[in-house]
Amino acid sequence: MVVVLVVGAAVVRAEGGRGSPPTTYNRQGPSLDTDKKRTHKFSREDVEVVHMEQAKRLLWLPLSLEERADIAEKYGADDLHICPDPWAVRHSWVNRETGEEQRARCNRWECLYCGPRKVVLWRQLVGQADPVLFLTLTKAGKTVEEAARALTTFVQALRRGSKGKGPNRVGARVAYPVEYFAVLERHHDFERNGFHWHLLIKGVEAIPYKEVIQPLWMSATHYSEETGEGAKIGHIERIRNAKAIGYVTKYLTKAVSLGEAGTRQVKRDRTAIVQDERGEVRIGRETVMETVASKAHRIRYSRHFFPEKVSALRIRLFAGIDGSEEGASEAGQAQDGKPLESEEGRGCSTWILVDRHEGMRQEVEDYKQKRFIEVFSDLQEEYRTDKQGYEQKKRAALAVIVGEARELARAEYKRCKRAALLRALEEDRPLSRRIINIWHYQRQQARLVG
């Protein structure tokens, strides 16, 4: 008899001892079926005796690291322990003085490892700011740029106030010196409602909705009664507990598509196989134009919303806190996963970035370049006789080589990821319930998106 139990992060296996008969269960309790034909019923006292006898025969063994890694990969839980980004899998930060090592990470919101830990970080940072009001602004726009422009216009008008018109000061409005933390959410009915903002506000105790918020938001979104464009609906309430902070930070991991964020063209240099005027093949550099997402941010906050600099606040929050406290040690890292302690104090950082698999990566690149040269050397005669056939064969050969290199890189990535997963499981850092819940929510959202 073999039983596998999963309790929290502990995984154990129970095996029956030698000669132990199989156990059957019925409404009256367990019984020992020695001849596999009859089931003996026991009283409550007998059941306790049977349990004690079975417990003596059971041998409890912890699962090995390999078995735990197999279970994590089988059920897609490996990204709960490590960042699956290829760059993060290969690299780690090492302290030159103490020898301490921390895993690098991509630090992207959509990452199933980094996203939940960033949410925990920002939730604690926002909690330190003590916001007073929770404001929702609907129908901000269909792109991140449009929504950001509407929010900036709204906040500027809210802070500036108005002296009104004419000698009677018609439409006069006081200024509200607000500080805010805003998160953009993609509405589930995007075609109709687009994006809307969730804001946590401090600096004022109350803001009238009908007299101030609604007309300013209508003006910022260019609301039109005839066409229905823009927005005039919002909602504001006072923060009474931490639920509002949790509600806003929950949407931090919701990513937007490239078209919804906006795009821009950038120049990139890359290594390529080129031919000179004499038709000789060589490795060279070429410049290409690539389309990347714009820099418009869906997470915005004013300069004085936090009581101090965000980097200093993170260091103060997570100083001396180990990984068992909401994953705080992983959260207290810089943009590329570098420990924050290296950003303050001494001028020279004690942390260095180490590539654990640089040799294997170079082997893939060497293999690709070697195959390029071999194929083009074989096609030199074809180039002199039939240039059209040469172009077709060259494209086919390039596709084959790129496919071979991709398979090698994929196999190397799986090996590196497996090694990183084994190291993470060996460290055996406890996972907080909050990180697991956010990870589960983010995985559900990713499945809905497709």
| Claim to verify: residue 144 and residue 224 sit in the same structural domain | yes
> What's the confidence (pLDDT) of residue 342?
41
Whether residue 225 is contained in a domain is answered as: yes
**CA–CA distances in Å: residue 384 to residues 17, 168, 195, 279, 283:** 77, 89, 59, 9, 21
Within a domain: 373: no
| Domains contained in the chain, number | 3
- Percentage of residues of the chain with pLDDT beyond 90: 20
Q: Distance between CA 182 and CA 194 in Å, rounded? A: 16
- Whether 173 and 269 map to the same domain: the answer is no
- Asked if 105 and 85 count as a contact pair (C-beta separation under 8 A), the reply is yes
Instruction: Enter the tokens of residue 175.
Output: 């200024």
Within a domain: 359: no
When mean pLDDT is compared over 168-177, 347-356, 381-390, the highest value belongs to 168-177
Region class of 7: left (phi > 0), else alpha (psi between -120 and 50), else beta: beta
Assigned domain for 6 exists: yes
Give the 3-state secondary structure of 262-295: CEEEEEEEEEEEEECCCCCEEEEEEEEEEEEECC
Name the H helices within 280-432: 310-318, 328-331, 358-378, 380-385, 387-427
Is residue 403 domain-resident?
no
- Least confident range from 126-140, 315-329, 389-403: namely 315-329
In a shared domain, residues 147 and 197: yes
Select the more confidently predicted residue: 168 or 160: 160
Spatial distance between the Cα atoms of 140 and 218, rounded to a whole number of angstroms: 10
**Reduced to 3 states, what is the DSSP secondary structure of residue 137?**
strand
Query: Domain end: 14, 36, 63, which one?
Result: 63
- So what's the pLDDT on residue 55? 56
Would you say 298 and 183 are in contact if contact means Cβ atoms under 8 Å apart? Answer: yes
The half-sphere exposure of 339 on its side-chain side, counting CA atoms within 13 A, is 23
Rounded CA-CA distance 227/65 in Å is 62
Instruction: Judge whether 207 and 133 are in contact, CB under 8 Å.
Output: yes
User: Mind listing the pLDDT tens digit for each residue in 202-255?
Assistant: 999 999 999 899 999 999 999 888 777 888 888 999 998 888 888 888 888 776
Phi-psi region of 168 (alpha: psi -120 to 50; beta: other; left: phi over 0): alpha
Provide the whole-model pTM.
0.67
User: Is 312 a residue whose pLDDT tops 80?
Assistant: no
pLDDT digits (tens, 9 = 90+) for 398-425: 888 888 888 888 888 898 899 999 999 9
* Over residues 48-56, mean pLDDT: 58
CA distances from 27 to 22, 43, 45 (A): 17, 11, 15
User: Do 145 and 199 fall within a single domain?
Assistant: yes
Vertex 256 angle, CA 255 and 261, to 5°: 135
> CA-CA distance, 111 to 338, in Å (whole number)?
17
Is pLDDT of 283 > 80?
A: no
Please determine, for residue 22, whether its predicted confidence score (pLDDT) is greater than 50: no
When pLDDT is averaged across residues 142-170 and rounded to a whole number, the result is: 85
Q: Taking 50 as the threshold, does the pLDDT of residue 124 lie above it?
A: yes
Closest CA to 292 of 314, 265, 313, 272: 265
Going by the DSSP 8-state scheme, the letter that residue 240 receives in this structure is -
Q: Are residue 214 and residue 274 in the same domain, yes or no?
A: no
pLDDT of residue 9 exceeding 50 = no
- Name the residue with higher pLDDT: 334 or 151: 151
Answer whether residue 112 shows pLDDT above 60: yes
Domain check: are 232 and 266 in the same one?
no
DSSP states of 152-184 as a string? HHHHHHHHH-B--BTTTTBT-B-----EEEEEE
Q: Output the pLDDT for position 450.
A: 57
The overall average pLDDT reported for the chain is 76
What average pLDDT score do residues 28-39 get? 44
Give how far Cα 260 sits from Cα of 186, 263, 289, 298, Å: 10, 9, 20, 11
CATH number, domain at 144? 3.30.70
Amino acid at 21: P
Alpha-carbon span 153 to 137, nearest angstrom: 13
DSSP state of 241: S
pLDDT higher than threshold 50 for residue 12: no
CA 309, 311, 315, 321 dihedral sign is positive
Kindly state whether residues 271 and 201 are assigned to the same domain.
no
Same domain, 167 and 203: yes
Do residues 46 and 141 both lie within one domain?
Answer: no
Mean pLDDT computed over 300-328: 66
* Interval 154-164: pLDDT, tens: 999 999 988 77
In a domain, 18, yes or no: yes
Angle, CA of 388, 393 and 398, to the nearest 5°: 130
- Residue 93's pLDDT is what? 86
Cβ proximity of 196 and 183 under 8 Å: no
pLDDT tens per residue across span 67-96: 999 999 999 999 999 999 988 888 888 888
| Statement: residue 344 has pLDDT above 50 | no
pLDDT at 440 over 80: yes
Q: Which residue has the higher pLDDT, 411 or 56?
A: 411
In three-state secondary structure terms, 87 is helix
If asked whether residues 221 and 284 sit together in one domain, one would say no
Tell me, yes or no, whether 144 and 230 share the same domain. yes
Q: Is there a domain that residue 439 lies in? A: no
Instruction: Name the token pair of 219.
Output: 């003006």
- Percent of the chain at pLDDT > 70 equals 73
Q: Which domain holds residue 21?
A: 2-63
Q: Is 150 part of any domain? A: yes
Mean pLDDT along residues 382-393: 75
Same domain, 277 and 224: no
